[in-house]
A and B are shown apart, each in its own frame.
Chain A
Amino acid sequence: MPEVFALKLAGPAGSGILSAGETLLRAFVKTGYYAQGYPEYPSLIKGGHNTYLITVSENPFPNNSPKIDLFLALTRTALNNEHNNINENTQVVADLSLKADHEHKKLYQPALLDIAKTAGNPLTLNTVMIGFATHQLQLNRELVWEILQEGFGDKSQTLLEQNKQAFDLALELSKQFFLDLTLPKQNNQNHHLILNGSQGVGLGAIAAGVNLYAGYPMTPSSPLLHFMAAHQTEFNYLVRQTEDEICAINLITGASFAGAKAMTGTSGGGFALMEEGISLAAMLETPVVIYLAMRPGPATGLPTWTSQSDLLFAINAGHGEFPKIVLAPSDPTECYLLVHCAFSLSQTYHCPVIILSDKYLAENNYSIPNLPPLETVPLSATSPNPKGDDMYSRYQFTPNGIHPRSLPGMPGGEYLANSDEHDQTGLIDESAQTRQENNQRRLHRLTEIKRNIPLPEVNGKGDKAIISWGSHKYIAQEVASHLGLAHIHFNHLWPLPTGLDKLLGTYKQLISIENNETHQLARLLRQETGLEIQIQLGEDLGRPLNPTELTTQIKKL
């Protein structure tokens, strides 16, 4: 039995590749496999080349398999584009009408399109693929049909009947083909939830008690915008699609000032527009949570692809010097927990918290264990005791630099949240003394935060370690496990915790793995600890890093 099995579906945008992939992924997980599903697509609506890769494994959190066992192609383009990912053992299924190369040794050509036509609707082609695969993968047909049906929601009865016919016919046709497929063990006892990173982030925000989410569409942050919008009525919060990202960040800062737990989300270009607002939120000491889903830049870059190239950008975002927190979850479970934590940290430290994700994490569908219920994050505001005619000393000096805030509506709490340097009540004050006291008070918070940030997670033993962050946890873990090395994984990226230099100093050799070209984490670690990461690996091709290639690369060193 193989450890992993990979199935790839490929076809033009609009042909239902993504929904077919998700249906099969659900069927695998419900059957008892560990599995994950990753969509890749260009930035267009119809045509092009979309793929959905399902990696089935005997172990939890499999990475995208570089080796495809079963390839289902709808078009000639699909066959051409995936040529490099197909090897001599790949079972290739292409429609009978396609002129396929005979170089594919294991080529099967059922008349899939004909079935869709017989069913009376060419759009049932994705159902035909599912039906064909269901038999070959020995999935339970009732189970698969049930999942498929759920996906149709309340679409018309005719459509449902056409799809049922397509499904049944494809399944029968499939019986005439004898593909050579072996699946891994069904070891999944505890992963009963399928979530992508975007959903994890959304659920974390809802659990934390988000009142307002504002955003402007931008891939790959839009799935979160859609998720938040879809659930607003159910959970009594508001979503506003703003005219731009600048509005979004200023709007949530205003809302937070007035007592809302508020959040925005964007990708690199939009985040660049938000920077002045991030600086503002920090100056006003108003809690905000910002979700940044990375994609490759510069500029528009590769809009629908993945990258880890905005780490230092996020950490250094905004003009002036001020405290902020940057967290980078590694899977949907951590998305859920760390976003909840982000709300809590922002309420505690009155500063911006950035959640750093990327297209890979945002859109990869993971099978994970059920998530724990969480309490609503309490709002950090207290009703002051009115004192005569003075304004409230909202920015009064305290040992840890944080003073309780008041909210509009609270008598005696009147203060000015002032973008200009200010006195304790917020009124403008440009004196050198006030400037120094206030600036140092704000920045002192970083020292406080550092003490409360956990050290990175360490797995495995030895004096050599692989270092990774965010979405690349399981990729780095696979490399470390192949090579028998320790693995240090970061999900709290800024500020880095106290004691990190001591931890890293115990290793003779450190190898960083990042999905960017300039080894940003390695540079950050050197900046903060003075330690050199001896081997710095990574690239930014729009695709998540390949653990097999990395392992080979490290072995050769």
Chain B
Amino acid sequence: MINLDTKIFPTWCPGCGDFGIWAALKGALQKLNLQTHEFVMVYDIGCSGNMASNIKAYGFHGLHGRAIPAATGIKLANHRQKVIVIGGDGGLLGEGMAHFVSACRANMDITVILHNNQVYGLTTGQSSPTSMKGTKGKATPLGVVEQPVEPCAFALLSGASFVARTFAGTIPESTEIFTSAITHSGFSLIEVLQPCVTFNKLNTYDWFRQRIKPLTQTPTDVYEAISKARWTDQDIFTGIFRNDETALPYHKTFEILKEKTLIQHSEKRDLTKYIHDWVE
């Protein structure tokens, strides 16, 4: 089994949901038997992104909200690499929302593991795009006015071909879903319900355990998937809402990427007709 640990142990708070995600991710990578040079981890900024120093592999720890553009660039440069994004609700759905939608629309062949803790943890407790209405954060002491973003429903509506939800507290299930997502060809989103034990006193492990229900079967179409993906006061479904292997990923639409990766196109270019005499 490959060793994925670095010399640095995670700095997350004891009990943080990120530990469960870390364990499940390593489990999935080991199950897939990927070598450490066969995939690239792209990390956003935040508690989730701090996983960057805890996985031994090629890694790219970029800017807050901008993990998806970097992952897209890596995938386009060398589509033989598996590209996995680790990010939170703040980065990916706040500053990074335009990139999130764009990658779904393109069905970009990357796997996005969204650590949804409904709070900005690393910056010590402000409300996030997925905070529930009325949540009081350090910067919203009067309570959140906005409707929360629903990443799964949003991704489904935007064309993502693999959309799933899992819970940080159930590592075997998360491992299973991560494995399917990484294997999937096309954009895959896994929203992981990730309790923040320090700054989110509402959406706790217990709170989730009372509401989580596993999907009994994969919805037959996008509309059913969206309706199952939405949270209700009583139910939050986990499992795979959509897994469409027929949807063509972005890079497969390009003739030049059929035989070679983009970076393998390193041949000298003959520009004679443009640099001698007349240009069109």
A residues neighboring B (CB under 8 Å): 26, 150, 192-195, 199, 203, 206-207, 209, 211-212, 214, 233, 235-238, 240, 242-244, 246-248, 250-260, 262, 276-277, 280, 284, 336, 370-373, 375-376, 379, 389, 391, 407-420, 426-428
Q: Mark B246-280, 1 if CB is under 8 A from A, else 0.
A: 00000000111000001101111111101111111
Contacts beyond the supplied A238-B256, A257-B73: 6 A-B pairs with Cβ under 8 Å: A211-B262, A238-B254, A373-B270, A417-B62, A426-B59, A428-B53
Q: What residues of B have a CB within 8 angstroms of the CB of A199 in the complex?
A: 274, 279
CA distance in complex: A252, B72 (Å): 9
CA distance in complex: A407, B261 (Å): 13
Contact B37 A254, beta carbon cutoff 8 Å: no
Contact B69 A409, beta carbon cutoff 8 Å: no
Contact A408 B274, beta carbon cutoff 8 Å: no
Contact A413 B58, beta carbon cutoff 8 Å: yes
Contact B263 A254, beta carbon cutoff 8 Å: no
Q: Decide yes or no: A250 and B69 within 8 Å by CB, A193-B279, A376-B269 being known contacts.
A: yes
29 contacts between A and B (CB under 8 A): A193-B277, A206-B271, A211-B265, A236-B256, A240-B72, A240-B76, A242-B69, A246-B99, A250-B66, A250-B70, A253-B73, A254-B69, A256-B73, A256-B77, A258-B74, A258-B81, A260-B263, A277-B66, A370-B276, A376-B268, A379-B266, A389-B3, A391-B6, A409-B80, A410-B37, A411-B37, A414-B56, A418-B52, A419-B45
Q: What residues of A have a CB within 8 angstroms of the CB of B38 in the complex?
A: 409
Q: What residues of A have a CB within 8 angstroms of the CB of B78 in the complex?
A: 258-260, 407-409
Contact A236 B77, beta carbon cutoff 8 Å: no
Q: Mark B156-193, 1 if CB is under 8 A from A, else 0.
A: 00000000000000000000000000000000000000
A381 to chain B, nearest CB (A): 10
B8 at the interface (CB under 8 A from A): yes
Interface core residue of B52, B268, B269 (most chain A CB under 10 Å): B269
Q: What residues of A have a CB within 8 angstroms of the CB of B77 in the complex?
A: 211-212, 254-256, 258-260, 262
Contact A206 B278, beta carbon cutoff 8 Å: no
Q: What residues of A have a CB within 8 angstroms of the CB of B115 in the complex?
A: none
B residues neighboring A (CB under 8 Å): 3, 6-8, 35-40, 42, 45, 50, 52-53, 56-63, 66, 69-74, 76-78, 80-81, 98-99, 101-102, 254-256, 262-263, 265-272, 274-280
Interface core residue of A150, A251, A413 (most chain B CB under 10 Å): A251
CA distance in complex: A495, B50 (Å): 35
Q: What residues of A have a CB within 8 angstroms of the CB of B39 in the complex?
A: 408
Q: Decide yes or no: A409 and B61 within 8 Å by CB, A194-B278, A391-B6 being known contacts.
A: no
Q: How many A-B residue pairs have CB under 8 A?
A: 210
Q: Decide yes or no: A414 and B57 within 8 Å by CB, A243-B98, A258-B40 being known contacts.
A: yes
B116 to chain A, nearest CB (A): 22
Contact A236 B40, beta carbon cutoff 8 Å: no
Contact A254 B60, beta carbon cutoff 8 Å: yes
Contact B263 A211, beta carbon cutoff 8 Å: yes
Partner of A276, one of B63, B99, B102, B275: B63
CA distance in complex: A211, B215 (Å): 43
Closest to B98 in A: A243
CA distance in complex: A195, B274 (Å): 9
CA distance in complex: A260, B263 (Å): 5
Query: Across chains A and B, which 4 residue pairs bring their CB atoms closest together, nearest first?
Result: A254-B73, A254-B70, A255-B73, A250-B69
CA distance in complex: A82, B272 (Å): 40
Contact B262 A408, beta carbon cutoff 8 Å: no
CA distance in complex: A194, B76 (Å): 34
Partner of B255, one of A233, A250, A371, A418: A233
CA distance in complex: A178, B263 (Å): 61
Contact A255 B61, beta carbon cutoff 8 Å: no
Partner of A420, one of B6, B40, B61, B265: B61
Q: Decide yes or no: A209 and B269 within 8 Å by CB, A251-B70, A254-B60, A409-B81 being known contacts.
A: yes
Closest to B72 in A: A251
Interface core residue of A250, A260, A375, A412 (most chain B CB under 10 Å): A250
